[in-house]
Amino acid sequence: MKEDAMMHISMEPSDLKHMKNGLPLTMNGVAATNGEVKYRGHEQPVLNDSVHPAFPPPVSSSAAQPSSHLCESHDEMFEEPPLLIAFFTYVGYAILVIFGYIKDFYRKIGLVNHLQTTDPREKEGYVPLYSSFESFYTRNLYRVIRDCFNRPICSVPGAEITLKDRVSHDYGWTFQFTGTTTRCINMASYNYLGFAQNSGPCFEEARKSIHQWGIGMASSRNESGTLELHVELEKQVAQFVGKEDAITFGMGFATNALNMPGLVSKGCLIISDQCNHASLILGARLSGAAIQVFKHNDMVSLEEVLRNAIVQGQPRTHRPWKKILIVVEGIYSMEGSIVNLPRILELKKKYKTYVYLDEAHSIGAMGPRGRGVVDHFGLDPKDVDVMMGTFTKSFGSSGGYIAGSKELIDHLRTVSHAAMYATSMSPPVIQQIITSMKIIMGEDGTLEGQKRIRQLAFNARYFREKLKAMGLIVYGHKESPVVPVLLYMPGKIACIIREMTKEGVAVVGVGFPATPLIESRVRFCLSASHSKEMLDKVLEKIDVAADLLSMRYSRLHPYNKH
């Protein structure tokens, strides 16, 4: 199976028949798609009515044979925009900037005034708090579309979500609630397995735990904040991800930021994917280790950086690095891509480095047993040195964990900043994780967990294929439950969010600085709680919006081939 995968990965990107306009397609991981969807393994048992016969769930039926789709692991695509679109995007920014200057001028002569733009201290002679560029950007570009973000909700962020309506009488500076609400299909929350619920076993257990334990801990793990519940959770997490031991914290962001310094320090090297999450970057920075970056999910680039690093040693002194840690994510939440883990583990062995894998989005959501990307590729968890993940997504809770060998976790217990100083996890939050994880593992005695995993896998494939068929540029891996669709122009972010909300679909739009300047996008997160009918309804609305906003940029599609 492994050689098979290797062969595929090292294949030349020869299949470029889709290159119509002379612009190349960027294909990650080098393996090329030829358009047809190919499924390996056995006939899939149809699980429920909503499973479309044309799109059988991709997961293999038994846990014993998890890697049946290994060889397709890296057909992941990042189609580049037509030149003209890139050009118009820049023009769009230029126009926004010009209008920004006009608005700033009005502000300067006192025509308009807002609390958020006036610094009471600046008049007293203090140095301005913000550099002019960043405040210009937020004041004039972000503010205009501020209604699309931070929208308050008043329901569970489940398959559907209820938004509180609000209006702004001052162009997005302040908002007032109107008292009405809008019900939307929720394509925005990271509720991959649908555990954001206010009924059912998770809810019941969480409620019981509030009564039993309260909600506050008011102490750190190492001082006086370890309940029996914490110990139980850590045992269970270790068992779930297949490691000897695990340690848990109250926030995923802090798990990265505060534990990396315990693993590497000055004289060590962190090799980090270009698209890594802010918390990983912060952790790397706090650790004091040197940081080098490789191109997003590009194994050739990674190997180059690795070779160079080992051969050259530390800058100036040329001493060898103490240790090298490759830091990657399982699923990248803005790109929808899946890490090329098989290749990374090969490189790790070849170059004797360590691997830190952040499974924030992939734990629960990937693999036939929901155990993350390691499970998805059918690899051995023992090969990944540090397995990090969060409970905020698939488990519908909050917090993060690090799993590893007993030696490693014991080390972290004694040096982790978070274990030493940060307050330990709240009991109902833990209980939610324990119960949902038991359901995923099937320990509740039902097939509920398996059902959710398969439904999510089906939803992810189905939705992505349909979007591609519409001629949209969709980034990422075909099995990823995160589906970003490219808009390019920043103005379209607001358009699509407003339009979709009006039609009853809640979506997330992201632009610069979370993405490269010209790659504004709208992102859909699939959930096991979405039914096929819901997805069809969403697809229908997107189809309409795609015409309205001319989003069909893809040249891979017959639609645009002429």
Partner 1 sequence: MGGHWVPNESPSIVQLFHAIIDAPLYHLVVEGLLLIWVFWLIFRKSYNPKDKAPLTEKEEDDLIEEWQPEPLVPRNSPSFDPDHPALNPRIIQSKIGKYMVVKGRKCLNVSTHDYLCLNEEPSVEDASVKSLEQFGVGSCGPRAFYGTAGHVHVFFEERLAKFLSCQEACLYSYGFSTIASAIPSYSKRDDVIFADAGVNFAIQKGLVASRSEIRYFRHNDMDHLLELLLEQQRLDEKNPKEAKVTRRFLVVEGIYMNTGDLCRLPRIVELRRQFKVRLLVDESISFGTLGKTGRGIFEHYGIPNSEADLITGTLEYALSSVGGFCVGTSFIVDNQRISGHGKSSSGYCFSAALPPLLAAGALAALEYIESSRGIAAIERLRRNCLLAQVEWGDVPGMELVGDAVSPVKHLQFKDRSENLKDDSRALQKMVERAEEMGVALTSACYVEDEDVCMPPPSIRLVVSSALDDGDIRRVADVLRRSAPRPGR
Ligand X SMILES: Cc1ncc(COP(=O)(O)O)c(C=O)c1O
| 472 contributes a contact to partner 1 by CB under 8 A | no
User: Exposure of 131 by Cβ count < 10 A (0-12 exposed, 13-18 middle, 19+ buried)?
Assistant: exposed
Applying CB under 8 A, which of residues 55, 78, 203, 377 lies at the interface with partner 1? 203
Residue 323 touches which member of ligand X, partner 1, none, C-beta under 5-8 Å by kind: partner 1
Candidates 11-19, 87-95, 245-253, 445-453: pick the segment binding partner 1 (CB under 8 A). 245-253
| 260 contributes a contact to partner 1 by CB under 8 A | no
Report the distance separating Cα 333 and Cα 525, nearest Å: 9
Residue 358 touches which member of ligand X, partner 1, none, C-beta under 5-8 Å by kind: ligand X
**Comparison of 11 and 215: residue with beta carbon closer to partner 1:** 215
| 411 contributes a contact to partner 1 by CB under 8 A | yes
**Comparison of 56 and 225: residue with beta carbon closer to partner 1:** 225
Site string for partner 1, 30-69 (x = CB under 8 A): ----------------------------------------
Q: Cβ 77 to partner 1, closest distance in Å?
A: 24
| Contacting residues for 370 by C-beta, under 8 A, at least 6 apart | 193, 363, 364, 394, 440, 449, 453
Residue 207 touches which member of ligand X, partner 1, none, C-beta under 5-8 Å by kind: partner 1
Tell me how far apart the 2 most distant CA atoms of the chain are, in Å: 74
Report the distance separating Cα 280 and Cα 274, nearest Å: 11
**Comparison of 333 and 455: residue with beta carbon closer to ligand X:** 333
Residue 214 touches which member of partner 1, ligand X, none, C-beta under 5-8 Å by kind: partner 1
| 214 contributes a contact to partner 1 by CB under 8 A | yes
Q: Cβ 475 to ligand X, closest distance in Å?
A: 16
**Comparison of 88 and 173: residue with beta carbon closer to partner 1:** 173
160 bridge partner residues: 185
**Comparison of 55 and 395: residue with beta carbon closer to ligand X:** 395
Residue 432 touches which member of ligand X, partner 1, none, C-beta under 5-8 Å by kind: partner 1
Q: Cβ 250 to partner 1, closest distance in Å?
A: 6
CA-closest candidate to residue 149, choices 517, 531, 501: 501
307: left (phi over 0), alpha (psi -120 to 50) or beta: alpha
CA-closest candidate to residue 322, choices 258, 265, 282: 265
CA-closest candidate to residue 240, choices 97, 10, 46, 437: 437
**Comparison of 39 and 354: residue with beta carbon closer to partner 1:** 354
Contact 2, 71 (CB under 8 A): no
For residue 45, what are its two tokens? Answer: 């048992």
Strands (E), 274-415: 290-294, 324-329, 354-358, 386-390, 400-404
By CB under 8 A, the residues from 69 to 98 that bind partner 1 are none
Contact 145, 167 (CB under 8 A): no
Applying CB under 8 A, which of residues 21, 176, 414, 550 lies at the interface with partner 1? 414
Applying CB under 8 A, which of residues 252, 389, 471, 484 lies at the interface with partner 1? 252
| 202 contributes a contact to partner 1 by CB under 8 A | yes
Contact 143, 165 (CB under 8 A): no
Chain residue at closest Cβ approach to ligand X:
252
| 124 contributes a contact to partner 1 by CB under 8 A | yes
Report the distance separating Cα 449 and Cα 546, nearest Å: 35
| Full 3-state SS string of 254-320 | HHHHHHHHHHCCCCCEEEEECCCCHHHHHHHHHHCCEEEEECCCCHHHHHHHHHHHHHHCCCCCCCC
| 251 contributes a contact to partner 1 by CB under 8 A | yes
Report the distance separating Cα 426 and Cα 214, nearest Å: 8
- Which SS3 state, helix, strand or coil, does residue 189 take? coil
β-pairing, 400-404 with 386-390? antiparallel
For residue 542, what are its two tokens? Answer: 């997107």
DSSP code of residue 138: I
**Comparison of 77 and 141: residue with beta carbon closer to partner 1:** 141
Q: Which residues bind ligand X (CB under 6 A)?
A: 251-253, 256, 277, 279, 329, 333, 358, 360-361, 390, 392, 400
For residue 465, what are its two tokens? Answer: 């294929």
Residue 499 touches which member of partner 1, ligand X, none, C-beta under 5-8 Å by kind: none
By CB under 8 A, the residues from 285 to 344 that bind partner 1 are 285-286, 307, 310-311, 320-324
Q: Cβ 71 to partner 1, closest distance in Å?
A: 29
Applying CB under 8 A, which of residues 91, 94, 218, 300 lies at the interface with partner 1? 218
| 408 contributes a contact to partner 1 by CB under 8 A | yes
Q: Cβ 408 to ligand X, closest distance in Å?
A: 19
What length does the chain have? Answer: 562
Residue type present at position 78: F
| 397 contributes a contact to partner 1 by CB under 8 A | yes
**Comparison of 71 and 258: residue with beta carbon closer to partner 1:** 258
By CB under 8 A, the residues from 354 to 393 that bind partner 1 are 354, 385-386, 390-393
**Comparison of 138 and 239: residue with beta carbon closer to partner 1:** 138
| 518 contributes a contact to partner 1 by CB under 8 A | no
| Full 3-state SS string of 60-112 | CCCCCCCCCCHHHCCCEEECCCCHHHHHHHHHHHHHHHHHHHHHHHHHHCCCC
Cα(first)–Cα(last) distance of the chain, in Å? 40
